[in-house]
Amino acid sequence: MKNHLRRIAVAGSLAVAALLLSAPAQAQDGFGVRAGYSMDPDQFYFGGHVGVGPLVGRLWFRPNVEIGIGDDVTTIALNAEVAWWFPTKGAWKPYLGAGPALNIYDYDGGSDTEGGLNFLFGVAHTGGFFGEFKVGAFDSPEIKIGIGYTF
């Protein structure tokens, strides 16, 4: 349990540091990096994404790859998510999204490939920093809490 709290504290500290260092920019399109903590399996994860859009109005395609390490398993999540951006006048832009996932679990004694579904809520600064909360269904990790930066 202490490791989980330590990981959440580190992720929170990184979020605050990135928030303080973010500079204004125009959009959340382009390539980016992400990292965070997942539950069930309990893992640290990292990865990358690309913002492609808009597809229609404020709806963007935001595919990403996340690699999770810990809980005696390595996870590779290939996520084909879309995000709808709320209209705001400020520098912070909230979004909601969802999408299918292909999850590859590698553990001692074998591996499994399972389909999943993610639902997400996030908030992104026009400077590139974002924070995201995901809830997984089917065979995706139950919860992911992460931060990232889009270049």
Residue 27 in tokens: 């959009």
Residue 2 pLDDT level (bands cut at 50, 70, 90): low
Q: What type of residue is 141?
A: P
Summarize pLDDT for 22-70 with one digit per residue, the tens: 333 334 689 999 999 999 999 999 999 999 989 999 999 999 999 999 9
Q: Is the pLDDT of residue 10 over 60?
A: no
pLDDT digits (tens, 9 = 90+) for 88-120: 999 999 999 999 999 999 999 899 999 999 999
In whole angstroms, what is the distance from residue 73 CA to residue 83 CA? 29
pTM of the model: 0.80
Q: Whole-angstrom Cα distance, residue 59 to residue 81? A: 10
| Residue-level pLDDT at 21 | 42
CATH placement of domain 2-150: 2.40.160.20
**Measured between alpha carbons, how far is 29 from 65 in angstroms, rounded to an integer?**
16
Q: Given this model, what pLDDT does residue 69 score?
A: 98
Confidence of residue 19 (pLDDT cuts 50, 70, 90): very low
DSSP E strand boundaries for the chain: 30-39, 43-56, 59-70, 73-85, 92-107, 110-125, 129-138, 143-150
**What per-residue confidence (pLDDT) applies to 27?**
45
Residue type (1 letter), 86: F
Task: Give the tokens for residue 41.
Answer: 């399996």
> What token pair was written down for 12?
């929170």
Return d(Cα 136, Cα 101) in angstroms, integer: 9
